[in-house]
C-alpha cells in the first residue's frame, strides 16, 4: 500500500466533481482538507458516510475545512447520488483510478473467497499547510465523520 505518508504534501492530482468541474486537489491547500474515498455511490455504507459528512458540514465549514468525497463513479452518477440524498459534501469522480493509485486506496479486496480490486474506504486529513496530518484506513462508517471532525479541530 502506498500513498501519502504523514507530513507529505497533498498529491498533485485533478478530479471532476459531480457537475463536471475540474478540481485541482493540490491547489486546495491554505485551509484544512479532508479527502475521503468510498467504494460506490448510492450503496448503504457509502450513503450513510456521505450523509454523516453532510450533517457535519457546517462544523467543518466553521473550521474553514473543505471535504472532498472520491469514488470511481462517473460525474453523472455522482450528480444523481447528491441530488437523491441532498448531499452537500463535494463529490469527485476518479473514473480512471489515477487518484486512487496516488493515495494508495486501490487495493485487492476479498468477499466470499473472491479476490478483486476495489477502493479501500480511507480518509486523509491535510492541514492548512497542505501536509498530511492524519489518515484512516479500512474505515468503519459508524462514528467516522465525527472522528475526522475532532481531528480537524485539533489541527
Tens digits of per-residue pLDDT, 67-94? 999 999 999 999 999 999 999 999 999 9
Question: Where would I find the beta strands (DSSP E) of the chain?
Answer: 14-17, 22-24, 33-37, 66-71, 90-93, 106-111, 114-119, 122-126, 132-136
* C-beta of residue 53 within 8 angstroms of C-beta of residue 139: no
pTM (2 d.p.): 0.95
- Per-residue model confidence as pLDDT tens digits over 23-47: 999 999 899 999 999 999 999 999 9
- Spatial CA neighbour of 152 closest among 72, 49, 59: 59
CA distance 105 to 36: 10
pLDDT digits (tens, 9 = 90+) for 112-136: 889 989 999 999 999 999 999 999 9
Question: pLDDT at residue 1 above 70?
Answer: no
Please report the pLDDT score of residue 75 as a whole number.
97
- Catalytic center residues: 46
Q: Cβ of 129: how many Cβ atoms within 10 Å?
A: 13
Amino acid at each position: 500500500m502506498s500513498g501519502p505518508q504523514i507530513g507529505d504534501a497533498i498529491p498533485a492530482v485533478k478530479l471532476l466533481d459531480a457537475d463536471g468541474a475540474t478540481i485541482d486537489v493540490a491547489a486546495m491547500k491554505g485551509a484544512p482538507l479532508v479527502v475521503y474515498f468510498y467504494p460506490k455511490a448510492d450503496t448503504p455504507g457509502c450513503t450513510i458516510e456521505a450523509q454523516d459528512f453532510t450533517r457535519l458540514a457546517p462544523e467543518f465549514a466553521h473550521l474553514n475545512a473543505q471535504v472532498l468525497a472520491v469514488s470511481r463513479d462517473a460525474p453523472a452518477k455522482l450528480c444523481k447520488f447528491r441530488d437523491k440524498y441532498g448531499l452537500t459534501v463535494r463529490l469527485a469522480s476518479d473514473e480512471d483510478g489515477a487518484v486512487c493509485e496516488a493515495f494508495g486506496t486501490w487495493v485487492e479486496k476479498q468477499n466470499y473467497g473472491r479476490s478483486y480490486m476495489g477502493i479501500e474506504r480511507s480518509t486523509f486529513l491535510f492541514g492548512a499547510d497542505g501536509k498530511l496530518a492524519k489518515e484512516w484506513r479500512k474505515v468503519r462508517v459508524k462514528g467516522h465523520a465525527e472522528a475526522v471532525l475532532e481531528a480537524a479541530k485539533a489541527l
